[in-house]
Amino acid sequence: MEREEAPNLSRAISPREEPQRQQTDRREQRLDVQLAVTIYGFAASGKIFVEHCSTRNVSHSGCCLRLQTRPQADSALALRLLRFGICAKSASQLLFQLVWLRPDGDGWLVGASALGAADLYCLAFPGTP
């Protein structure tokens, strides 16, 4: 399986701004948008971690996240979308595969690919194509 290169990240947006579509040579568009999520996974140390973070961009098949914890290479990550800063017990849990990671200051940028029919884009923006 060929690894993707880390995406070109643009500036963060405020909640009042519309997400900006990234123009890349990828098969699908990504939206530069910060969505609050909770991540569940295995750290590089082998221990389970739970972390609140935000996305950098999302697409129909994946997302880019910034984590404080370094996740285990090639591991699965469970993601829950937060609404109003809280995670509802009934919130959908989506599964992703870690595709790439790179250091980013005191944390890590993580590229994740959706496993199965997980679609963070449609969950975050209902009614969009």
Q: What is the pLDDT of residues 46-89, one digit of tens each?
A: 999 999 999 999 988 899 999 999 999 999 999 998 875 555 55
CATH number where 57 lies: 2.40.10.220
Total domains in the chain come to 1
At 42, is the secondary structure helix, strand, or coil?
Answer: strand
Domain that holds residue 41: 29-124
Is residue 19 assigned to a domain?
Answer: no
The reported pTM is 0.71
Q: Could you tell me which residues come within 8 angstroms of residue 78 by beta carbon, excluding any fewer than 6 positions away?
A: 39, 40, 41, 93, 94, 95, 96
